[in-house]
Chain A
Amino acid sequence: MSDRTDERPDRTDRELLAAHVAGDHDAFAELFARHRSRLWAVALRTMGNADDAADGLQDGLVAAYRRAGSFRGDSAVTTWLHRVVVNACLDRLRASSVRRTATLPDDHDQPLPAPVADTVDPALAAERSEQRRLVLAALAELPADQRAALVLVDMEAMSVAEAAEVLDVPVGTVKSRCSRGRARLAVSLRAAGVLPPAPPVAVEGNQDTPPAVPSSEPPARAPPA
């Protein structure tokens, strides 16, 4: 993750953070503005709705502003910012013990961005929008730690190592959370019809073991005595 995320020949993230700590009141606003969109996306997907995401992002903003002096420079500033915001969101989730089983993400009814093609098949767009709604709803059902890991790795395309830094957990923990989260999502999305039905499980070797999925073939019966 780079410390300079735009092409402008101005101060790096580290320089801005250092300037902020030194008392430059504009530096933090500039730094935050650079990363606001991605931080918002992470907060929104972690919290599941815009109101809570705004709260979480505000908490993170205040914490980062006030704790800037504690940044030791052992990670990228963007990683640190993500860490502060994700922690703020997770703290909110823990504090409120919010269960989002009944709520849908705020943008569930918004259409997907227009595809590259000039013509949009309305039926296809509607299908994708519904699919996205179901994915976000299923994501909101996951435990917060799994959700946060998936948001960073699968949505924000962070490497597992970067996500581990953000979440302040070992790489293996991120992998585990992602794996368990995806497995749970697969179950939910299959039940919702987003994923195709599971293929029959092939059973090899031991013929005495009954098949996991009933075969269409009639069961072999012993001839009548």
Chain B
Amino acid sequence: MPDTPDEELVRRLLADARHDEPVPADVVARLDGVLADLAAEGRPAEVTPLRRRHDPRRRRWAAGLVAAAVVVVGGVALRSVWPEGSGTSGSASSSADSAGSSSAGGRNQGPEAAPEGFAIVTPHVAELHRATLADDVRRAVAGLPVSLGSAPSSASPPASFTCADGGWGAGSGVPARLDGTDAMLVLRPPAGGEQVADVLQCGTGRVLASVTVPAR
């Protein structure tokens, strides 16, 4: 179908508004720094939960500092309901936490932010279906160790389950199949008696489905 005159005008205006200027020097410097840190890690194909490094060159800080403060306060509050040691923050992201030089940047956290722990807490694969997701998740959660806080640091899913790390974020991971496709069910830290359960796409960490269930 040919464009309407309006569409054609809009297309032209958008083309005129294309950004053709070079990347700002401060952004280039920031990205170069991130690349240098990634190279220093020496693990190009590995995926770990993303974490922003502290970089004094970075952006206008006012909003970021406010966000970091909120995360700190939230982290303190969450620890009262999400026991420490429930994830593998001591393994999966220990280098990022201890060295303070991780160059990732996906979670918008400053250096003071609460640690993000993630662990696969069961070797069993949960069968999930979009049509019955809430019930399926509840059933999967019911089969988990009574206290996620005392769960083993990490369980190994069966060999038939292949799911590239997508940067899952904080929570307890349950290998899953969503309508037949491998995925990762991540039970987020509970809050207010509830718990968000995200079904994430393998390799990308994109949220395929999400449901809120009563906290364990």
Q: A13-25: contact bitstring with B at CB < 8 Å (1 yes, 0 no)?
A: 0000000110101
Q: A162-206: contact bitstring with B at CB < 8 Å (1 yes, 0 no)?
A: 000000000000000001001101100110001100000000000
Tell me which residues from 32 to 90 in chain A have a Cβ below 8 Å from any Cβ of chain B. Answer: 32, 36-37, 40-41, 44-45, 50-51, 54-55, 57-59, 61-63, 65-70, 87-88
Bound CA–CA A110/B63 (angstroms): 24
Is the C-beta of B106 less than 8 angstroms from some C-beta in chain A? yes
Quick one: which of A23, A57, A58, A61 has the most chain B CB within 10 A?
A58
Shortest CB–CB separation between residue A218 and chain B, in angstroms? 30
Looking at B30-38, B81-89, B110-118, B138-146, the stretch in contact with chain A turns out to be B30-38
Shortest CB–CB separation between residue A119 and chain B, in angstroms? 20
Q: How many residues of B contact A (CB 8 A)?
A: 50
Known: A50-B24, A51-B59, A155-B18. A63 touches B167 (CB 8 A): yes
Bound CA–CA A62/B45 (angstroms): 11
Is the C-beta of A144 less than 8 angstroms from some C-beta in chain B? no
* CB closest chain-A residue, reference B55: A58
Bound CA–CA A156/B14 (angstroms): 9
Residues of A near B104 (CB, < 8 A) are 62, 66
Residues of A near B21 (CB, < 8 A) are 107, 110, 113
Task: Determine if B44 and A68 form an interchain contact, defined as CB atoms under 8 angstroms apart.
Answer: yes
Is the C-beta of A131 less than 8 angstroms from some C-beta in chain B? yes
> Which of A20, A55, A68, A131 is the one whose CB lies under 8 Å from B13?
A131
Residues of B near A136 (CB, < 8 A) are 17
Bound CA–CA A68/B52 (angstroms): 19
Task: Determine if A59 and B50 form an interchain contact, defined as CB atoms under 8 angstroms apart.
Answer: yes
Residues of B near A88 (CB, < 8 A) are 106
Is the C-beta of A1 less than 8 angstroms from some C-beta in chain B? no
Known: A62-B106, A66-B47. A87 touches B16 (CB 8 A): no
* CB closest chain-A residue, reference B28: A36
Task: Determine if B16 and A132 form an interchain contact, defined as CB atoms under 8 angstroms apart.
Answer: yes
Residues of A near B9 (CB, < 8 A) are 186, 195
Q: B1-15: contact bitstring with A at CB < 8 Å (1 yes, 0 no)?
A: 001001101110111
Known: A59-B106, A62-B104, A66-B46. A91 touches B206 (CB 8 A): yes
Q: How large is the interface on A (under 10, 10 to 19, 20 to 34, 35 or more residues)?
A: 35 or more
Tell me which residues from 95 to 136 in chain A have a Cβ below 8 Å from any Cβ of chain B. Answer: 107, 110, 113, 128, 131-132, 135-136
> Which of B3, B7, B43, B59 is the one whose CB lies under 8 Å from A54?
B59
Task: Determine if A182 and B10 form an interchain contact, defined as CB atoms under 8 angstroms apart.
Answer: yes
Tell me which residues from 42 to 67 in chain B have a Cβ below 8 Å from any Cβ of chain A. Answer: 42-48, 50, 52, 58-60, 63
Is the C-beta of A150 less than 8 angstroms from some C-beta in chain B? yes
Task: Determine if B50 and A186 form an interchain contact, defined as CB atoms under 8 angstroms apart.
Answer: no
Name B's A-contacting residues (CB within 8 A).
3, 6-7, 9-11, 13-24, 27-28, 30-32, 34-35, 38-39, 42-48, 50, 52, 58-60, 63, 103-106, 108, 164, 167, 203-204, 206
Q: Can you list 12 residue pairs at the A/B interface with Cβ under 8 Å?
A: A32-B35, A40-B23, A62-B104, A68-B44, A69-B45, A87-B204, A91-B106, A91-B206, A132-B17, A154-B11, A186-B10, A195-B10
List of 5 A-B pairs having minimum Cβ-Cβ separation, nearest first: A69-B45, A154-B14, A41-B19, A25-B39, A186-B6
Beyond A62-B105, A186-B9, 4 additional pairs, beta carbon < 8 A: A40-B27, A59-B105, A88-B106, A155-B17
